[in-house]
């Protein structure tokens, strides 16, 4: 396929209304209702799913490989996808790999090759970020649970950490050569499973094109002890200076110290245990200029994502008009 690189807007020019806030396509799943893999579905199927997102007012999507792996499309089908995307009036601000660890003992080398392919596709479709993580496939128990996080899942092997650093650094080199960034998604029991571990991993990689995705929603939903503070702001404080992308979602969380029981459930951003108004404003203070990708599990996922997008824009609008922020963080609307 001939190169058709698309230059994304300069983050220095983003305003509250133009800041890229994508809808994650995860809600549509890897198969269609009749069981056809989404990757093999006709373009009209892709168009119908994309149209639902566009009708909710989204300008951007994140075509996660848990929906449709662009890395596995033939050049012809990738062109077909780009045509459908354009017809529906949507752009791509980020591409996420889900449960495709580059150190998976069985599929790690293939996942690494796919990550490289995503890094080549991203600038062609206008995306500035490729998001990867070390989470792996759901266990049988997780697949049967009401919420998969209620059952224990994969735990990273410390012996493979040096290989993980090597491969992420390799991807960072590729990202830098293509003028984009690589982001590492925080996820429990992985090398980036706590704020402290995540920062240390990024420091050990030591690459300017590699940052963090502070998806701390993945942590607050767990039915286990986690550090807590009002609004969970302390959990973010450690990682925000290293962040270049953001999967953003929220949950309720309750703990009963008498019985040792926990409960959590997905909710829109403004109703959860994380005070995202304070956290987003703090991120901007620290210089955050990355895209957002809205996520939600259960109920009308894309409908909640649209509510979350509007909430984020309101918070950005308020924060970007602060006279105490440096000029390059205020945006053109300030």
The number of folded domains in the chain is 1
User: Is the residue at 39 inside a domain?
Assistant: yes
Q: What is the pLDDT of residue 321?
A: 83
Q: Compute mean pLDDT per 10 residues along the chain, 334 residues long, and list them.
A: 55 93 97 95 97 98 97 97 97 97 97 98 97 96 95 97 98 98 98 98 98 97 89 94 98 92 96 97 97 96 98 97 54 32
Is 109 among the domain residues? yes
Residue 287 lies in a domain: yes
- 58, exposed or middle or buried, with CB in 10 Å at 0-12, 13-18, 19+? buried
Residue carrying structure tokens 């991120």:
283
Host domain of residue 170: 14-322
Dihedral, CA of residue 58, residue 237, residue 8 and residue 164, to nearest 10: -110
What pTM did the predictor assign?
0.93
Predicted pLDDT at 228 = 79
Give the DSSP H/E element, type plus range, for residue 255: strand 250-256
CATH number of the structural domain spanning residue 83: 3.20.20.150
Question: H-helix or E-strand containing 122?
Answer: helix 108-124
User: How many angstroms separate the Cα of 13 from the Cα of each of 49, 130, 144, 258, 277?
Assistant: 30, 21, 46, 51, 22
Question: Burial of 330 by CB count in 10 Å (0-12 exposed, 13-18 middle, 19+ buried)?
Answer: middle
Per-residue confidence (pLDDT) for residue 333, from 0 to 100: 31
Length, in residues, of the chain: 334
Compute the chain's Rg from CA coordinates: 19
Task: Yes or no: say if 37 and 71 are a contact pair by the CB < 8 Å rule.
Answer: no
Dihedral, 81, 84, 88, 89 alpha carbons, nearest 10: 60
Domain-embedded: residue 24:
yes
Token pair for 221: 């939903």
DSSP 290-307: --EEE---SSSHHHHHHH
- Residue 180, sorted as left (phi over 0), alpha (psi -120 to 50) or beta, turns out to be beta
Residue 1 lies in a domain: no
SS3 292: strand
Residue 165 domain flag? yes
Does 5 reside within a domain? Answer: no
232: left (phi over 0), alpha (psi -120 to 50) or beta: left
Residue in the block written with tokens 């990738």: 78
104 within domain boundaries: yes
DSSP secondary structure code for residue 145 in this structure: S
Q: What pLDDT does 5 receive? A: 53
Provide the pLDDT for residue 32.
95
* Both tokens assigned to 12: 């220095």
* Three-state secondary structure call for residue 82: helix
Which pair of tokens denotes residue 167? 């491969």
| Calpha distance 125→51 (Å, rounded) | 18
């Amino acid at each position: 396929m001939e190169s058709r690189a698309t230059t994304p807007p300069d983050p220095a020019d983003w305003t509250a209304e133009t800041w890229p806030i994508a809808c994650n396509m995860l809600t549509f799943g890897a198969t269609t209702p009749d069981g056809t893999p989404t990757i093999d579905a006709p373009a009209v199927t892709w168009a119908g799913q994309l149209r639902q997102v566009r009708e909710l007012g989204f300008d951007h999507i994140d075509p996660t490989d848990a929906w449709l792996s662009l890395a596995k499309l033939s050049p012809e089908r990738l062109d077909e996808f780009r045509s459908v995307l354009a017809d529906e009036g949507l752009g791509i601000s980020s591409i996420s790999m889900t449960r495709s660890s580059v150190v998976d003992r069985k599929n790690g080398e293939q996942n690494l090759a796919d990550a490289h392919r995503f890094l080549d596709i991203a600038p062609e479709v206008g995306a500035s970020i490729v998001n990867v993580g070390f989470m792996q496939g759901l266990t049988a128990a997780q697949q049967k649970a009401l919420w998969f996080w209620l059952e224990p899942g994969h735990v990273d092997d410390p012996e493979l950490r040096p290989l993980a650093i090597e491969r992420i650094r390799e991807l960072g080199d590729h990202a830098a050569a293509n003028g984009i960034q690589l982001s590492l998604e925080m996820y429990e029991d992985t090398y980036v499973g706590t704020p402290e571990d995540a920062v240390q991993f990024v420091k050990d990689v030591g690459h300017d094109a590699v940052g963090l995705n502070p998806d701390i929603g993945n942590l607050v939903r767990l039915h286990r002890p986690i550090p807590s503070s009002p609004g969970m702001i302390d959990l973010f404080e450690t990682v925000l200076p290293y962040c270049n992308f953001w999967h953003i979602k929220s949950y309720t969380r309750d703990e009963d110290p008498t019985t040792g029981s926990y409960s959590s459930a997905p909710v829109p951003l403004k109703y959860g245990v994380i005070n995202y108004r304070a956290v987003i404003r703090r991120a901007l203070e620290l210089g955050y200029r990355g895209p957002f990708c809205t996520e939600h599990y259960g109920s009308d996922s894309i409908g909640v994502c649209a509510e979350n997008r509007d909430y984020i824009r309101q918070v950005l609008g308020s924060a970007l008009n602060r006279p105490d922020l440096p000029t390059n963080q205020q945006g053109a609307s300030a």
